[in-house]
Amino acid sequence: MAETLLELEGLEVRYGSVPAVRGLGLSVDDGEIVGLIGPNGAGKSTTLHAIMGVVSPYAGEIRLRGRSVRGRAPESIARDGMALVPEGRRIFADFSVEENLRLGLAGRSRHDRLDPLERAYDLFPVLHEFRRRPAGVLSGGQQQQLAIGRALVATPDVLLLDEPSLGLAPLAVDSVFEALRRICDHGVAVLLVEQRALHTVALADRTHVLVGGELQLTLTPADAHDPDKIVSAYLAS
Amino acid sequence: MILAALNLNFQTLSDAIGLGAIYALMAVGIGLVFGVLRLVNFAYGQLIMAGAYTLAYTSSWPTWVSVVTSFAVVVALSLAMDLVVFRPLRGQSPAVMLVTTFAIAFLLQSVALIVDIRDGTLGEVTAAFSVLNEPVHVLGGDVRKITLVSIAVAAGALLLLALLLAKTTIGLHTRAAAQDFRTARLLGVRANRVIAFAVVLSGLLAAAVAVMMTVSAPFVTPDFALQDTIVVLVGVVVGGIDRLWTATLGGFTIGFAWGVINGLLPTDKTVYLPSAVFTLVIIVLLLRPAGLFTWGRQAAGERV
């Protein structure tokens, strides 16, 4: 049986008195891709921020490999095997591609014999080609590859992605989704927050629909052929 | 010929470069901490003052022991400042942080006053490097040795700092933290470590400045380096506070301008020096509010 790597239980996050996430429970097992979709303001990004320690949960529990990470600093959670590809990529535009990747080493949780930068270069050869260039000159799709590569050099157990397809051309989106499957095949569990619902449902082992901060529905890849089901879940709010 | 037309002699020009070099080091010290903490440390001058007092109180010791002790005191004080005040207040508004550094500055000044007047007199004298006030003949003119030392120390320190920031992991983490602290932390960069690194470097620079300043001004009082800090803070803003290198250039420029205008003014008119420099500052800020050395999108770029 696959080990549960990330587990949320009754997670509640509030901004002042306004609830953003309400009683959310989900788990991500070893070798799994779990999707989290929903309309704008559903609490998807807030959930990722709570997992990474950027915002403090009001209630509930967040466990990584069975141990609570609630209340810990983001860098401590990153060093314990969780990596986030943030919304908008947040690459360091003035730094070279290689420097951006080396920054990812700060969160390295395992030290195996493989050169972690080589791992990113294997997955995204264009990063090797442009490794000496400032990251700011890369195209949007290449910058997204860099953001994912930077997270992977930390050799995380769980990779969180916050809308990696945002602002990308269709071809670049396909390339990112294809890369996620390969990443998962390399033994990294993925929690994917996305606006592209059909793409996500088709890719992920399970996809949770979050509406108004609450878990509305859980979909499987078979539901990718039933857009009405997804739409009705979105409209439930 | 230009020098003659401006009524500037070689020594005035070299002294101005020397002062610019010292102010550049102070600007780096202030800029490093600003980069990672978004905090303008008004108490930076009191670190220099503490270093100068340490040199004065240990002036009977062997020179190198006195200097090392001064460095140790300033770095320890910098770290204590971070641990006791900056760290608990991290994340507060810039206004709160700035007022806090004002409070620290006046607190340290008061403590220095209490310690200083125990012997019934105000002020202590340092004697460590008085020999550096002697002139040396360079390029057909006389230059004080301390001027050459200041320029060499500033150039060496800046080069070393540039290498440290560009070639080491902690340097990379510091640059990243200065640009986008939240993303850096999400990648695993340890906030406390990069801040401590910047604070220690800033302290080392303050100690170096204390040693060089006491050569020209060996009489140390509680307001030692206070005016210099204010001038450098202005220079940092004039240069462009958002980037370490523009801030450094701003520090150098205001020190150089201070030295040159001082040389141009007749001896009985030096009272007009601050008003002349600050008038120039206002004009520059009106023309280039983002910073004298900041162009286009640079203001939003790499800070350290």
Q: What is the pLDDT of residues B233-258, one digit of tens each?
A: 999 999 988 889 999 999 999 999 99
Residue of A nearest to B192 (CA): A75
**Two structure tokens written together for B252:** 């150098």
Instruction: Answer whether A12's CB lies under 8 Å from A19's CB.
Output: yes
Q: Do A75 and B169 touch (CB under 8 A)?
A: no
Q: What is the pLDDT of residue B133?
A: 85
* B-chain residues near A81 (CB < 8 A): none
Q: Chain A contacts of B245, Cβ < 8 Å?
A: none
- Domain count within chain A: 1
Nearest CB to B183: which of A90, A94, A154?
A90
Alpha carbon of B66 to those of B57, B62, B127: distances in Å? 9, 6, 11
Q: For residue B135, is it within any domain?
A: yes
Q: Helix, strand, coil: what percent of chain B each, to 5? A: 75, 5, 20
Contacts of residue A108 in chain B, CB cutoff 8 Å? 188
| % chain B with pLDDT above 90 | 68
Q: Is residue B289 in a domain?
A: no
**A 161-200 near B (Cβ less than 8 A):** none
Position A210 scores a pLDDT of 95
Assess whether pLDDT exceeds 70 at residue A12: yes
pLDDT higher than threshold 80 for residue B300? no
- A37: Cβ–Cβ under 8 A, 6 or more apart, which residues? A44, A193, A194, A195, A197, A200, A201, A207, A208, A209, A210, A230
Nearest CA in chain B to A107: B188
Residue A42 has a pLDDT of 93
For residue B293, name the pLDDT band (cuts at 50, 70, 90): confident
Determine, yes or no, domain membership for B234.
no
Note whether A20 contacts B: Cβ–Cβ < 8 A: no
Q: Is A119 on the interface with B (CB under 8 A)?
A: no
A108 CA: distance to closest CA in chain B (Å)? 8
**Facing A106 at nearest CB: one of B175, B179, B188:** B188
Measure in Å the smallest separation between the Cα of B176 and chain A Cα atoms.
7
Phi/psi at B124 (5° precision): -130, 155
Dist. CA B183–CA B135, nearest whole Å = 52
Q: Is the pLDDT of residue B299 over 50?
A: no
Pairing of strands A18-29, A4-15: antiparallel
The phi and psi torsions of A215 (rounded to 5 degrees) equal: -70, 120
Average of per-residue pLDDT across A169-195: 93
For the cut 90, the answer to whether the pLDDT of residue B9 exceeds it is: no
Whether B245 maps to a domain, the answer reads no
Asked whether residue B279 is domain-assigned, the answer is no
Partners of B173 on chain A (C-beta within 8 Å) are 103, 106
DSSP assignment letter at A2: P
Residue B298 included in any domain: no
A72–chain B Cβ distance below 8 A for any pair: no
Q: Does A149 touch chain B (CB under 8 A)?
A: no
Query: How much is the pLDDT for A81?
Result: 94
Q: Could you tell me if residue B281 is inside a domain?
A: no
Answer whether residue A151 is part of any domain. no
Closest chain B residue to the Cα of A160, Cα to Cα: B186
**Domain limits at A190?**
4-87+158-235
Extended beta strands in B104-260, E state:
124-125, 135-138, 141-144, 219-220
Instruction: Give yes or no for residue B195 having a pLDDT over 90.
Output: yes
* A95–chain B nearest CA distance, Å: 8
Q: What residues pair up with B161 in beta bridges, in sequence order?
A: none
Residues 6+ apart with CB under 8 A from A11: A21, A23, A24, A25, A47, A50, A57, A59, A60, A61, A62
Residue B186 is nearest to which of A84, A94, A95, comparing CB atoms?
A84
A/B interface, count of CB pairs below 8 Å: 65
CA distance B168 to chain A (A): 11
To the nearest 10°, the Cα dihedral for B224, B227, B228, B229?
90
- For the residues A145-156, what does the mean pLDDT come to? 95
pTM value? 0.89
Residue A38 backbone zone (phi > 0: left; psi -120 to 50: alpha; other: beta): left
Number of independent structural domains in chain B:
1
Range of B175's domain?
15-224
Contact A154 B172 (CB under 8 A): no
Question: What percent of chain B is predicted at pLDDT more than 70?
Answer: 94
B294 in a domain, yes or no?
no
Residues of chain B in contact with residue A54, where contact means CB-CB under 8 angstroms, are: 182, 186
**Secondary structure (3-state) at B123:** coil
**Residue A98 domain-assigned (yes or no):** no
A112 touches chain B (CB under 8 A): no
Q: Kindly report the nearest CA distance between residue B173 and chain A, in angstroms.
A: 7
Q: What CATH number does residue A199 fall under?
A: 3.40.50.300
> Chain-wide mean pLDDT for chain B?
91
